[in-house]
Amino acid sequence: LPIDRNLTDRVLAGDRRAVARAISVVEEAGAEGRALIREIFAKTGRAYVIGVTGAPGTGKSTLVDRFVVEARRAQLTAGVLAIDPSSPFTGGAILADRVRMTSHDADPGVFIRSMATRGHLGGLALATGDAALVLDAAGFDIVVIETVGVGQDEVDIVSASDIALVVLVPGAGDDLQAIKAGVMEIADIFVVNKADRDNADDVVHAVSASLALQTFGPGAWAPPIVKTNALSGDGADRLWAEVERFRHRMGPAAGDRRVAWQARHLRNLLAAAFVRRAEAALPPGEFDRLVADVVARTLDPYSAVASIVERV
């Protein structure tokens, strides 16, 4: 496949239209996207990637908006990838909170993009990771990935970040329940948003109590709990300060984290590459024949897979 050098060069120069186009290309998850990542990869690894997750209704989007304002105050440029759980079925009307991001529209130091949640198993995590690389290559100082904290894809996405923020709100037992196993455990900072509510301290105490059950070794990072009110902006400066504190404290450990994530990422890419090859290598119609045999119960799925692996 011919590589669009012009697109690559424009991304590396920070051209916004090229960045938008490049993210669309990696979202398609095809050969063109892989070629693009190969071209830009050596220029990545400089952005600080911040994962923000929480259940629906926790005010994550507004909080990210406030957070970007803090980043700009610190003279940093920011790329935001908002994983958008909306469906064409439900329409855009209930997604009014997405609209608020237009407040940054005139600022060339901010780039905001919604990522669709369609696609294959693991496809969203792969596409989001590649989109973050595009923003990184384009020179954004921080990349914020905002996602709903339920589902394995979301855990994978947050695991890919240098720091993970988990957003909770008062009086939402169900929201806590919605936080998937693995998400609470990877939180580097807990944010209690809508902290103007009466029972905000209940959440703070619940999280504190849970943290107290864990042992943090000497020098280990004990996740702080930051109260915010994203609507008024209260607490956004303290949240930013905690992120900066983590960044400075965790410099060396951050490398280990990137290694662990990259290992998982390579396994996922490897799986996708093998399946593409296997389907191309089988005789036409053979894969469908195996599927039909499995549906008819004359062949079990693990034997079907073994027969493909042996033949490829």
Site for its own copies in 249-308 (CB under 8 A): 255, 258-259, 262-275, 277-279, 287-288, 290-292, 294-295, 297-298, 300-306, 308
Check residue 94 for interaction with its own copies (CB under 8 A). yes
Q: Which of 175, 195, 235, 243 binds its own copies (CB under 8 A)?
A: 175
Site for its own copies in 99-138 (CB under 8 A): 116-119, 121-125
**Residue 229: strand, helix, or coil:** strand
Among 106, 181, 212, 222, binds its own copies (CB under 8 A): 181
Among 184, 197, 250, 286, binds its own copies (CB under 8 A): 184
DSSP string covering 25-88? HHHTTSHHHHHHHHHHGGG-S-SEEEEEEE-TTS-HHHHHHHHHHHHHHTT--EEEEEEE---T
From the CB of 196, what's the least distance to its own copies, in Å?
18
CB of 308 to its own copies, least distance (A): 6
Residues 211-250 that bind its own copies (CB under 8 A): none
Q: Please give the full DSSP string across 80-147, using - where no structure is assigned.
A: EEEEE---TTT-SGGGHHHHGGGGGTT-TTEEEEEEE--SSTTHHHHHHHHHHHHHHHTT-SEEEEEE
Residues 21-50 that bind its own copies (CB under 8 A): 34, 37-38, 41-42, 44-45
Nearer to its own copies, 187 or 195 (CB): 187
Smallest CA-to-CA distance from 305 within 284, 287, 292, 283 is with 287
> At 167, is the secondary structure helix, strand, or coil?
strand
Of 145-164, binders to its own copies (CB under 8 A) are 148, 150-154, 156
Instruction: Report in angstroms how near the CB of residue 276 gets to its own copies at its nearest.
Output: 10
Q: How far is the CB of 127 from its own copies (least distance, A)?
A: 11
- Tokens describing residue 218: 């000497």
CB of 181 vs its own copies, minimal distance in Å: 4
d(CA 270, CA 202): 45
We find the least distance from the C-beta atom of residue 77 to its own copies, in angstroms, to be: 20
Give whichever of 71 and 187 is closer to its own copies, judged by the CB atom: 187
- Comparison of 17 and 297: residue with beta carbon closer to its own copies: 297
Q: Binding its own copies by CB under 8 A: which of 89, 108, 219, 280?
A: 89
Near its own copies by CB under 8 A: residue from 55, 158, 165, 230: 55
H/E segment holding residue 227? strand 225-227
- The amino acid present at 65, given as its one-letter code, is D
Nearer CB in complex with its own copies: 214/232: 214
Q: For the range 177-181, what are the long-range contacts, defined as Cβ-Cβ under 8 Å and sequence gap of 24 or more? A: 178/55, 178/56, 178/149, 178/150, 179/53, 179/54, 179/55, 179/149, 179/150, 180/149, 180/150, 180/151, 180/152, 180/154, 180/155
